[in-house]
Amino acid sequence: MIEQFLNRADARRVSLSQHELERRWKALRERMAAKRIDYLVVQSQNRGVGGYFRWFSDLPGGNYPNTAVFPLEGEMTIISHGPASPAPPANPPNWALRGGKEKLNTPAFPNVWWEDAWDAEKAVEVMMRRKPKTVGFVGLGNMSAALYENIKKGLPKVNMVNATDLVDEIRMVKSEEELALHREAAYMHEMSYEIALSAIEPGRTIEEIILDIRIAQMEAGSEEQQVAIAFGQPGEPHHPGQMSWGNTVIRRKLRKGDIVNLLVESSMAGGYWYDMRRFFSIGPVPAAYQEAWKIVREARAIMAENCKPGLLPGVAVKASDKFLTGRGCPAENRVCGHGQGLDLVERPVFLKDEICKLEAGMIVCLHPTAKTKRAAVCLSDTYVVTGSGAVPLYKNLFDRDEIAVVG
């Protein structure tokens, strides 16, 4: 056992402590027992969105679906893409298994329809060993219809429930170990801001700036890099955000007088995220943007003040909307805040429909927008909920949210 732990620690850049994982599993099983749930099933279909699976297993998603079958008692089973029996399962490697001594592989491809049931059939085989009465699905939005429908088909007399809320109750409140990993992501975003200050200048393309930021993040250990830039002259339609992926290329180079809207949402080693949006001006900052920046900074502070334990997120949204409309700006028409963790966007979401009350230790990203007649500015940072409201996860970065003059 000790040798296995040492090998795992040597092989990984970041490995969650066994104590942290066992904290989660213990809390899960207490809730499963209370609701008489025999198994939980969770799936990741790609690297970018699959935080539930990783939260259970400390395994990142991949190019093919990965499924975890988590029992009320005993060890978790991991079902991944790999060689079919009788060949021994190859994925994930043995050193990577955390609380799952059994791994099963199928050579199924998501785009081959006649293979759709293969992973589900393996999951059903595992669960039938204990004749379950109730199975809970976790993160249905991240799960393929093929897995869901074929598990239901394979267990026709078993009660099926959506158990996502049961997991959210635990996942939304971060441990000290998780907070430390979020801070590592914050440090990386501080570095990204420094790069942007020197990279944004007339004559350069958006692709060049994004590449500067992404390369530095990867060298620092980032797992996922999402960078978007929108830009243009004041009073003119801005070129839409250019993401870090895709084949849409904006050829127009930056010019003197451009306003640059930079959004960096990346995860550090370990898979935890930070969210940063900043504005830059190539030349003096126009008065209209300074005005909108002052308004949105105050709106964000109002949201943070109203992120207290026991309050619904909608309270913060309502308070911010009241301030924004009082300053001649429209109320929010999009999500202006959300939880964060192993997914960029987690619960709670800052909408009136969210029924989850805030708790101390939740990580939330706040990003209101101030739209005046002549400008629109959004600021984004990641916070942690405390007894007195939400406080910046990393104050050094929070204090550097002015519209910086560059170029």
Q: Which of 126, 146, 171 is the last residue of a domain?
A: 171
Q: Are residues 164 and 224 in the same domain?
A: no
Nearest to 338, CA basis, from 320, 321, 316:
316
Tell me the pairing of strands 376-378 and 224-232. Answer: unpaired
Is the same domain home to 286 and 359?
yes
Say if residue 159 is in the same domain as residue 261.
Answer: no
The pLDDT value given to residue 247 = 54
Please check whether residues 92 and 40 belong to one and the same domain: yes
So what's the pLDDT on residue 2? 42
pLDDT at 9 over 50: no
pLDDT digits (tens, 9 = 90+) for 309-332: 999 999 999 999 999 999 999 999
103 lies in the same domain as 189:
no
Residue 245 has pLDDT above 90, yes or no: no
Residues 226, 152 within the same domain: no
Q: Is the pLDDT of residue 182 over 70?
A: yes
Q: Token pair 């992404």 is at which residue?
A: 214
CB 403 within 8 A of CB 289: yes
Q: Which of 154, 171, 188 is the last residue of a domain?
A: 171
pLDDT tens digits for range 166-175? 999 999 999 9
What pTM value is reported for the model? Answer: 0.91
pLDDT at position 13: 63
Same-domain status, 125 and 190: no
User: Which of 135, 156, 171 is where one domain is finished?
Assistant: 171
Q: What is the extent of the structural domain holding 26?
A: 2-171
The pLDDT of residue 319 is 97
CATH number of the domain where residue 252 is located = 3.90.230.10
Tell me what the mean pLDDT of segment 199-228 comes to.
94
Q: Report the Cα 216 to chain-centroid distance in Å.
A: 20
CA angle 195, 200, 203 (to 5 degrees): 140
CA 129: distance to chain centroid? Answer: 34
Residues 181, 290, single domain; the answer is: yes
Residues 210 and 346 in one domain: yes
- In this structure, the chain runs to a length of 407
Helix (H) or strand (E) holding 306: none
CATH number at residue 90: 3.40.350.10
| Residue of 306, 315, 320, 311 whose CA lies nearest to 367 | 320
Instruction: Name the β-bridge partners of 377.
Output: 370
Q: CA-CA distance, 141 to 388, in Å (whole number)?
A: 33
Instruction: Please give the C-alpha separations between residue 304 and each of 277, 341, 396, 403, in angstroms, as whole numbers.
Output: 16, 18, 17, 21
List pLDDT tens digits, range 106-118: 999 999 999 999 9
Q: What are phi and psi of 105, to 5 degrees?
A: -120, 145
Q: Are residues 322 and 192 in the same domain?
A: yes
Is residue 200 located within the same domain as residue 157? no
Q: What is the pLDDT of residues 43-82, one digit of tens each?
A: 998 765 679 999 999 998 878 899 999 999 999 999 999 9
Contacts of 308 (CB under 8 A, 6+ apart): 358, 385, 387, 388, 389
Domain count, the chain: 2
User: In this structure, are 282 and 370 located in the same domain?
Assistant: yes
Tell me the one-letter amino acid at 277.
R
Beta bridge partners of 224: 267
- The residues that bridge with 231 in the sheet, in sequence order, are 239, 260
What are the phi and psi torsion angles at 253 (to 5°)?
A: -85, 160
**Using the 8-state DSSP alphabet, how is residue 179 labeled?**
H
